[in-house]
Chain A
């Protein structure tokens, strides 16, 4: 009887995982199917849809734009998060709840409202859509995530190491460079990576802010799906999935950082 109950439990958990990860794996599997439709019966392993991406320069250009926006916004968000987290935790055991709520507020606002807000804000200054608005929205969207990861690192950081360094005659900046930042490197890298991935795959925050010259990969995919959904798109999606998974696994394996604990 007990074994039946336990078996049912594991079967349930398995079903939940199939439900959560299934659609994703289905897209990945469809991308290496040689068939011309999506979805289609399996017609043999083929990478022709990956080669087909090369005929769509708009996807390649948008990938670079997305990567650039993700890199710049994550770098700014992680740096600002480090400074804020440091100020909140140095010399104190607990962060200030009011301050952390303010800094976490970008996640409480629906992403599409974020996009709308930046659009209407930029219009006040006669600015249209484009790179600056995209950078602004991606940075503010990434800030809470960077802050969480940096704060986990800071919570474990022993601030008396800084006092030791300061008392031995090192200045504040030298102390940061030689003591604090090296010890916090894992959580800074995790914060940056997490921000980067979330920025790279995000559609709604960019939705109203792209223009003909500057457009992100998810927005190009969005426009493409409107007309048709084909295995080429599955191939693009699979590349994104594999890259995100590879980044997470690398972090876990070589830096012993987990995005989720």
Chain B
């Protein structure tokens, strides 16, 4: 996630136009010494990510003693997808991640454009400020929200006391989760968009200016179209952060507002149903892949080759 912000490298490098396939790539790369050097990291990913994920997928098809599903099959999936309670969890996960993305992108875009005008020491500090919450860890940030958001807390307390508003119920609601999600996503969005906006050549603006284009026209004709690849990659990053966020929905959402991540935790830590946990995990992965493909299709259409 954060690596998107490091230098000018994209989060995940674009796939080659003509896939030679994994085997071709490995054959090409793994001549002699290179293969040996790649071995440790490929082994790490294979042993501690690839194989374990296969185990999760298999486990999601396993018989489930707790629910007396006695044969392997799709019973676990049927169970989660046909019950309104669990289906709502699925929809809520998508809704929160999508809403978070929709709110975060324009806020981050405007901030990134303004940050481009900073230079020198101040720009440095501004960039470090963005990484601050990432490095401090979301747990610390959530403690802040838990203290700030109660109806009689430091933010709303005075307004309620003055009778300006009625006590809002932000903590334990989806609004609370959304607020903290947007805050968590913003630095990632800003850093990705900043990198992308920075790559637009200044001369284009000078040319547009000399041809009599106003700021609005040069934004619409230069900035926006040229930054769309950046918008797409930050949308993907931000969406996947939202869908996989655990800490925000756990602490700020209500007990009934589960998302797939908190549902997985509940299955493991409270009801000890590891097959359903695996099923929820597979569903989460499928949702993420589908939504990202949707984003690519939607935004990709506007990107000029």
* Contact between A112 and B140, CB atoms less than 8 A apart: no
Given contacts A13-B111, A204-B247, A237-B139, contact A83 B147 (CB under 8 A): no
Contacts of B148 in A (CB 8 A): 22-23, 26, 39
- The residues of A that contact B240 with a CB separation of less than 8 Å are 108, 110
Residues B33 and A87 in contact, CB atoms below 8 Å apart: yes
Report the minimum CB–CB distance from A118 to chain B (whole Å).
Answer: 5
**Residue ID in chain A nearest B137 by CB atoms:** A201
Find out whether the CB atom of B114 lies under 8 angstroms from the CB atom of A229.
Answer: no
A200 to B51 alpha-carbon distance, docked (Å): 25
Q: Is A202 an interface residue (CB 8 A)?
A: yes
Q: Quick check: which of B67-75, B160-168, B221-229, B281-289 contacts chain A, the rest being far away?
A: B281-289
Chain A contacts for B115, CB-based, 8 A: 13
Does A197 count as interface, using CB distance less than 8 angstroms?
yes
- Interface 9-residue window, one of A48-56, A137-145, A158-166, A177-185: A137-145
Assess whether B290 is interfacial by the CB under 8 Å rule.
no
Number of interface residues of B (CB under 8 A): 94
Least CB distance from B240 to A in Å reads 7
Chain B positions 99-152 with a Cβ under 8 Å from a chain A Cβ? 107, 110-111, 114-115, 124, 126-133, 135-148
> Taking the complex as formed, is A71 at the interface, i.e. its CB lies under 8 A from any CB of chain B?
no
B207 touches A (CB below 8 Å): no
Q: Which of B42-50, B80-88, B296-304 is the interface stretch? A: B42-50
**Which residues of B (191-224) have their CB < 8 Å from a CB of A?**
191
Q: Please give, as numbers and ranges, the residues of chain A lying within 8 Å of B140 by CB-CB distance.
A: 24, 27, 201, 237, 240-241
- Contacts A21-B129, A96-B29, A112-B244 given: A121-B51 contact, CB under 8 Å? yes
Interface residue from A26, A113, A143 paired with B264 (Cβ < 8 Å): A113
A148 CA / B9 CA spacing, docked (Å):
8
Contact at A23–B135, with CB atoms within 8 Å?
A: no
Is B40 an interface residue when CB atoms closer than 8 A count as contact? Answer: yes
- A113 close to B285 (CB less than 8 A): yes
Chain B positions within 8 Å of A155 at CB level? 7
Which residue of B132, B269, B274 is within 8 Å of A24 (Cβ)? B132
- Asked whether B6 lies within 8 Å of A95 as measured between CB atoms, the reply is no
A27 and B144 contact, CB distance less than 8 A: yes
Cβ-defined contact, B147 with A84, below 8 A: no
A67 adjacent to chain B (CB < 8 Å): no
Complex: how many Å from CA A249 to CA B143? 24
Question: Which residues of B lie under 8 Å from residue A25 when comparing CB positions?
Answer: 144
Within 8 A of B (CB), among A50-78: 76-77
Q: Which residues of A contact B124 (CB under 8 A)?
A: 252, 258
Residue B2 interfacial (CB < 8 Å): yes
- B residues in contact with A22, CB < 8 Å: 144, 148
A234 at the interface (CB under 8 A from B): yes
Query: Do residues B191 and A260 form an inter-chain contact, with CB atoms below 8 A?
Result: yes
Could you tell me the distance between the alpha carbons of A88 and B41 in the complex, rounded to whole angstroms?
12
Residues 45-100 of B at the A interface (beta carbon under 8 Å): 45, 47-49, 51-53, 55-56, 59
Known: A39-B153, A225-B251. A80 touches B40 (CB 8 A): yes
Q: Kindly provide the distance from the CB of B260 to the nearest chain A CB, expressed in whole angstroms.
A: 8
Nearest CB of chain A from residue B212's CB, rounded to whole Å? 18
Any chain A CB within 8 A of the CB of B243?
yes
Return B219 CB to nearest CB of chain A, in Å: 13
Q: Nearest Cβ distance between residue B39 and chain A, in whole angstroms? A: 8
Complex Cα distance A155/B7, Å? 11
As a 0/1 sequence over residues 217 to 261 of chain A, the CB contacts with chain B under 8 angstroms (1 = contact) are: 010011001000100011001001100110011001000001111
Which of A121, A143, A241 has most chain B Cβ within 10 Å? A121
- A240 touching B53 by the CB < 8 A rule? no
Q: Which of A88, A112, A121, A248 meets B265, CB within 8 Å?
A: A112
How far in angstroms is the closest Cβ of chain A from B269?
7
Asked if B231 lies at the interface with its beta carbon under 8 angstroms from chain A, I say no
Docked complex Cα distance between A243 and B128 (Å)? 15
**Cβ of B172 to closest chain A Cβ, rounded Å:** 14
| Beyond A121-B51, A140-B48, A147-B3, 16 additional pairs, beta carbon < 8 A | A20-B186, A22-B148, A23-B183, A39-B147, A98-B15, A108-B12, A112-B281, A113-B244, A120-B278, A145-B2, A148-B7, A203-B246, A208-B265, A229-B146, A237-B143, A244-B136
CB pairs A–B below 8 angstroms (7 shown): A13-B111, A16-B186, A106-B49, A121-B51, A145-B2, A260-B191, A261-B7
